[in-house]
């Protein structure tokens, strides 16, 4: 179980593995960040304004946050209750508590999707089943044309795990043809910047995906090989993993 406050200590987050540990904390964390990007109930959840930052030293993490002791007391009590409840349950749990000005506490239940895993080299690549379903539905909706977009994920360098949990829909200037897809870029830079700010830089660009039409396997074409080579050039020297995925 992982329990933590958001930077301003206005919210409490709990991520709890199921009794069989089929949902790892990394899976739950990746889904948590993906939910932040789309759930209006979590707007501003990880924001830290310049006014709340407090410099205290000369290190690389020299800015801390000033938090309210009454919020700490309220959220601390909720944390104990949440821990007891999670310990008595065999299911995975992910939720956010947000005290309101009138004294009520708003609870935001978060999804706990299953993840599928594949070993690629020395990396464990994990895919949210919710995301796989979403990409498959997008492919079907755009048939007979191909479609695609950008993949977002959480990278754990110590464990060499990549959790792919979210995607950005194709920008409006994308080109969709029955045997061709070219991902556009209108508004994409601002969208990626917004996601980075909303998730405190945790959910990041990890590559591209596109679909193949009916009757075509998920084998990469010459154009797909060229795209993967372009990704290799983009990520060269960063030490970060990158993906190209085909949905067939």
- Return the pLDDT at 52: 59
Q: Which residues of 69-108 are buried (b: 16+ CB within 10 A; e: fewer)?
A: eebeebbeebbeebeeebeeeeebbbbbbbbeeeeeeeeb
Cross-strand pairs, 15: 2, 94
Between CA 112 and CA 35 the distance in angstroms is 10
The stretch 101-106 carries a mean pLDDT of 89
- Return the pLDDT at 231: 93
Between CA 174 and CA 195 the distance in angstroms is 20
- Return the pLDDT at 49: 61
The stretch 107-121 carries a mean pLDDT of 94
pLDDT tens-digit map of 137-155: 999 999 999 999 999 999 9
DSSP string spanning 72-104?
Answer: HHHHHHHHHHHHHHHHT-SS-EEEEEEE-TTS-
Q: Is residue 124 predicted with pLDDT exceeding 80?
A: yes
Q: Is residue 173 predicted with pLDDT exceeding 90?
A: yes
- Return the pLDDT at 59: 72
- Return the pLDDT at 63: 74
Answer with the residue of higher pLDDT: 107 or 64: 107
pLDDT tens-digit map of 79-95: 999 999 999 999 999 99
- Return the pLDDT at 55: 73
Residue 37 phi/psi, 5-degree rounding, is -75, -15
Q: Is residue 51 predicted with pLDDT exceeding 60?
A: no
Q: Is residue 69 predicted with pLDDT exceeding 80?
A: yes
**Structure token digits, residue 219:** 């084998």
Q: Which residues, other chains included, contact 129 with Cβ-Cβ below 8 Å and sequence gap of 6+?
A: 113, 114, 115, 116
pLDDT tens-digit map of 188-231: 999 999 999 999 999 999 999 999 999 999 999 898 999 999 99
**Structure token digits, residue 229:** 């080579």
Q: Is residue 135 predicted with pLDDT exceeding 90?
A: yes
Between CA 162 and CA 167 the distance in angstroms is 14
Predicted confidence band of residue 170 (pLDDT cuts 50, 70, 90): very high
Predicted confidence band of residue 58 (pLDDT cuts 50, 70, 90): confident
């Amino acid at each position: 179980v992982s329990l933590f406050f958001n930077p301003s200590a206005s919210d409490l987050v709990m991520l709890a593995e199921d009794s069989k540990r089929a949902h790892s904390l990394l899976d739950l964390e990746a889904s948590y960040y993906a939910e932040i990007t789309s759930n209006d109930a979590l707007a501003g959840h990880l924001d830290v304004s310049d006014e709340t930052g407090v410099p205290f030293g000369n290190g690389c993490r020299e800015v801390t946050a000033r938090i309210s002791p009454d919020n700490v007391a309220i959220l601390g009590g909720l944390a104990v209750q949440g821990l007891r409840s999670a310990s008595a349950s065999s299911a995975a749990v992910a939720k956010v508590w947000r005290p309101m000005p009138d004294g009520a506490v708003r609870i935001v239940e978060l999804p706990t999707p299953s993840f599928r895993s594949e070993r690629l080299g020395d990396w464990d690549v994990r895919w949210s089943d919710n995301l796989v379903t979403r990409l498959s539905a997008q492919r079907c909706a755009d048939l007979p044309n191909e479609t695609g977009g950008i993949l977002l994920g959480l990278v754990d360098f110590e464990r060499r795990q990549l959790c792919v949990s979210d995607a950005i829909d194709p920008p409006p200037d994308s080109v969709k043809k029955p045997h061709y897809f070219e991902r556009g870029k209108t508004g994409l830079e601002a969208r990626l910047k917004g996601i980075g700010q909303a998730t405190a830089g945790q959910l990041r660009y990890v590559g591209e995906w596109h679909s193949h039409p009916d009757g075509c396997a998920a084998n990469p074409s010459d154009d797909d090989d060229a795209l993967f080579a372009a990704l290799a050039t983009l990520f060269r020297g960063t030490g970060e993993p990158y993906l190209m995925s085909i949905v067939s």
